[in-house]
Structure 1
């Protein structure tokens, strides 16, 4: 397995609408395994294919404390949303250092395929429901800050820009030593 580079916002691939997976082969299984390794190493609880530069409808999620309950969703779609909503603080591996509160349905049902192409449904609540919605947004070119008011989104994107500049400055300083 190989750790993949994570695409950072505003890379255009993050705004793309992903294409359905049609080939359920070893290449897909390897991509999913590499995505899982990347997610665990980051560390994160979810990762969508566009976050590693692939415009496929593929997501890996593991919200367990032990990091031993990997959920792989191929061609996922949400088939039911609860009327009840919940506000949770979200972050994103593609927007490092940015966290903000997002209001989403408290429960969802997702229908997807596994790596062999078999269909299944899963009822999700709590952190899993938030993560499923967050990752599926990526498949439609949406990042979590798109759910915020213009003022909050602008504030978060300015912070992201500042963090990138600070990281670049630190890299330059360490390279000049």
Structure 2
């Protein structure tokens, strides 16, 4: 059995270190784990109940919901913007929280990791993302934590997939996340 993990990256920047971290996760995924990096969060309109009525969600929101529903687990990658998660990630969580009580995140094993420029590696943003996803119905896997500080210097010339400490942290995260998915 293959465990399908959907990765949502909270940075839209082309050279995003969190995007690179998601790529590293895919590169280091063990046998039996498939990582799908969702592209399209930047095309999601801001959540508005008026455009999410009667099952007529915008196409990009419907695609996000379908991809999430089809996944066994979700892995959120969050940079830290002004002490919290980026709006694009919060917006994705908002779309996934609906319809109320039956959103695509409902009961889905979900973990949050990330890297940021600051010396704490985005810990505040990760806490906020865990909180929001949990309220949206996700089953938060918080037995592991991966907040990588100093992204701008640490990954200036080294892709996260080539960083042995990062690879080990990603392996532990995937192990906890996929164990949670297998138990579901």
TM-score normalized by the length of structure 1: 0.29
More strand by share: 1
Larger radius of gyration: 1
Greater RCO (Cα-Cα under 8 Å, separation 6 or more): 2
TM-score normalized by the length of structure 2: 0.28
